[in-house]
């Protein structure tokens, strides 16, 4: 497994708004927790939950430093890459590549969230495109496939994959435990053969 080195990415939305993707820092604690608290109703219904018999999730509020260290460890091990989404020096969300697999598969699953106050401004799709292009860069991780799983009722997330033009691969039955129960998800994907010059970012050039 190739380690994912600490990385800072820059991108620009189709409307010209610059965004930065960078590792989460211990000093982000207050801003991160405030953002999540303000958007509890907006984000909470899509948050993963623990199925019966599962290991309890880390209490981020009580030990944010351990959470940031765990994300950094995942990146060093090459298993994941989570980056804070920053606009005008304000933390507005998070984009993550999880379950990075190399070998014959060379794939990753991407997840993302942004605060409701910036939703609809093309920030989330720009962040997803920036991270995906970084991971699929032949000079970088050279992944072959990126996939995104979304609860069918999650319209804001469905808008993101529509803007990116990802291929709908159908429904995965009881795929993830969300909100206290197993939920179906629609799976969307793209492989390198489907991406032209400029990567996924180029697909955002005509909003």
- pLDDT tens per residue, range 146-195: 999 999 999 999 999 999 999 999 999 999 999 899 999 999 999 999 99
**pLDDT over threshold 80, residue 111:** yes
Percent of the chain with pLDDT over 90: 85
pLDDT at 6 over 80: no
Query: What confidence score (pLDDT) does residue 61 get?
Result: 85
Q: Render pLDDT for 48-62 as a digit per residue (tens, 0 to 9).
A: 998 887 767 777 888
The second-level CATH assignment, the architecture, of 9-202 is 3-Layer(aba) Sandwich (3.40)
CA-CA distance, 114 to 170, in Å (whole number)?
Answer: 25
- Give the predicted TM-score (pTM) of the model: 0.94
- Quick one: angle between helices 155-164 and 123-136, nearest 10? 50
| Total residues found in the chain within this entry | 207
Q: Is the pLDDT of residue 4 over 60?
A: no
pLDDT value at 2 more than 80: no
Return d(Cα 83, Cα 81) in angstroms, integer: 7
Across the range 57-80, mean pLDDT stands at: 90
Cα 151 from Cα 49, distance rounded (Å): 14
Structural contact between residues 173 and 184, judged by C-beta atoms closer than 8 angstroms = yes
């Amino acid at each position: 497994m190739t380690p994912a080195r600490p990385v800072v990415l820059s991108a620009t939305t189709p409307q010209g708004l610059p965004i930065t993707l960078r590792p989460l820092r211990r000093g982000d604690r207050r801003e991160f927790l405030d953002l999540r608290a303000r958007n509890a109703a907006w984000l909470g219904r899509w948050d993963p939950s623990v199925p019966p018999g599962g290991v309890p999730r880390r209490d981020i509020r009580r030990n944010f430093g351990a959470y940031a260290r765990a994300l950094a460890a995942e990146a060093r091990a090459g298993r994941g890459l989570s980056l804070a989404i920053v606009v005008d020096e304000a933390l507005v969300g998070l984009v993550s590549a999880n379950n990075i697999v190399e070998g014959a598969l060379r794939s990753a699953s991407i997840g993302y969230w942004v605060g409701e106050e910036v939703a609809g401004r093309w920030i989330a799709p720009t962040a997803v495109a920036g991270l995906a292009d970084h991971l699929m860069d032949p000079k970088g991780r050279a992944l072959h496939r990126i996939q995104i799983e979304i609860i069918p009722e999650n319209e804001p997330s469905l808008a993101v994959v529509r803007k990116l033009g990802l291929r709908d691969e159908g429904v995965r039955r009881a795929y993830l435990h969300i909100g206290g129960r197993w939920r179906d998800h629609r799976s969307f994907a793209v492989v390198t053969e489907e991406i032209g010059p400029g990567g996924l970012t180029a697909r955002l050039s005509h909003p």
